Amino acid sequence: MPNFQTVRGMRDLIGKEAQTFIRIITKAQETASLFGFKEVFTPHVEHLELLSAKTGDEICQRMFVFEDLGKRQVALRPEFTASIARLVTSTLRTEPKPLKLFSVGTVYRYDEPQRGRYREFWQSNFELIGADKPEADTELILLTNKLMQTLGLQGYAFKIGHIGIIKEILSQDDVDEKTQNAILQRMDKKEYESALKLVTSEKCRGTLQSLIDLKGNNWRDTIEQINVIVSDYEKAKIALENLTEILTIVTSSAEISLTVEPAFARGLEYYTGMIFEVYIPQLEIALGGGGRYDRLVEAFGGESTFAVGCAHGIDRIAIALQTQNVAHMPKAGLDVVVIPITESVKVDALKIAQMLRDRGVSTGFELLGRKMGKALEAADKHDFDYAVIVGERELCMGSIVIKDLKKREQTTVLITELFEKLGVK
């Protein structure tokens, strides 16, 4: 038997779920526009060389890689950032900075499928290139906040950290970059014990352990405590100052719920500064996340460029909306179906359907030539609000019959009064 199911980890989106995705994508596009991000479309397939240039080792191992018919080694994009870096170092190289780019679409990772984890999933992605100021970091948190808020999500909260704090502690204790990345990856998975095993200096292990143990809701208190823990680490203190400045700006510009977690790391190893994720209380999976990665563009052969970005998982946001019962919005307009009673009035009925569509009314037409009873039964199942019934007798008098399918009432009205009767402006 041929296998005609979707490939493992990939899904069809239909009906209300598809509608929810469209709503999230539209809100992400509106948010991009509000914050001055320009939308760009890049290919789903890129050279393997590009995608593996600096993406975290872990993601590299989970890419869908193949050889095309021209024997090129290519892969499905596991994220947008590499494609954006390609653009920034080529076509958009001379564009005035900062560059603010937005993309939305599917990305592909060979993850182990489970609820909220797919192999094909949708992201909305924001990249802000060429700005080193904390205001730039702030924009990414604020736009994520705005997106969550406009989608109607309740009780969402940000988890914020700064990769510079951990990296500078490790650097001061001479831990090489490769080991640093291995440690961060383990910390990302909350495998703290195994992460600390890679640290030889006892003092450094103790410092990291104190950061791991630190929990608290008031971010100012947490910052104070981190300050004490890293008092011997000059560069880590600079990273902490940067984080403090970002948080001060964020909290004074918006109502926002956040916690600071100094031992928080993110899977992608290219981060250099502030990192964040956003959650709702009912779900343990992050709805989105991002951070600063000032050395990324350089890794793609470009000049040293400041960069900060974030991505939101649309599939997970859809789950969050469902969990909080805000996934389905009431219908915006009417759904009308036009039914001709006989062949002879088909053309007139089609004209009426066209008239409705020209006025912006979503209009269906009885396409199967069913008898009135069956056509109305089908209209009910399709959840139409009104049926416009076109019959020869009424048509002679310039009229049609409108049937309100919810109230089960019908009236004969002049065609000239159709819009008024339907309440169409």
Nearer to ligand AMP by Cβ, of 141 and 175: the residue is 141
Q: What is the enclosing helix (H) or strand (E) of 150? A: helix 134-151
Residue 310-349 contact track with ligand AMP, rule CB under 6 A, x = bound:
-x-x-xx---------------------------------
- 123 Cβ contact list (under 8 Å, min separation 6): 79, 80, 104, 105, 106, 107, 311, 312, 313, 314
Residue type, 181: N
111: contact with ligand AMP by CB under 6 A? yes
Which of 214/286 has CB closer to ligand AMP?
286
Strand (E) or helix (H) holding 31: helix 15-34
Q: Which is nearer to ligand AMP, 223 or 287 (CB)?
A: 287
Q: Is 159 in the site for ligand AMP (CB under 6 A)?
A: no
| Candidate list 287, 356, 388, 395; residue touching ligand AMP; CB under 6 A | 287
Options 37, 102, 118, 264; binder of ligand AMP; rule CB under 6 A: 118
Q: Is 11 in the site for ligand AMP (CB under 6 A)?
A: no
Q: Are strands 157-162 and 258-260 parallel, antiparallel or unpaired?
A: parallel
By CB under 6 A, tell whether 161 contacts ligand AMP.
Answer: no
Given candidates 102, 108, 121, 219, which one binds ligand AMP under the rule CB under 6 A? 121
Distances from the Cα of 2 to the Cαs of 5, 7, 8, in angstroms? 9, 13, 15
Written as one string, the DSSP assignment of 353-399 is HHHHHHTT-EEEE--S---HHHHHHHHHHTT-SEEEEE-HHHHHTTE
CA torsion sign for 340, 345, 346, 350 is: negative
60 binds ligand AMP (CB under 6 A): no
The answer to whether 271 contacts ligand AMP (rule: CB under 6 A) is no
3-state secondary structure of 47: strand
- State the minimum distance, in angstroms, from the CB of residue 291 to ligand AMP: 8
Minimum separation from the CB atom of position 81 to ligand AMP (A): 8
- Does 10 sit near ligand AMP (CB under 6 A)? no
**Structure-block tokens of residue 140:** 């990414």
β-bridge pairing 335-340 and 409-414: unpaired
Contact residues for ligand AMP, defined by CB under 6 A: 79, 109, 111, 116-118, 121, 123, 267-268, 286-289, 311, 313, 315-316
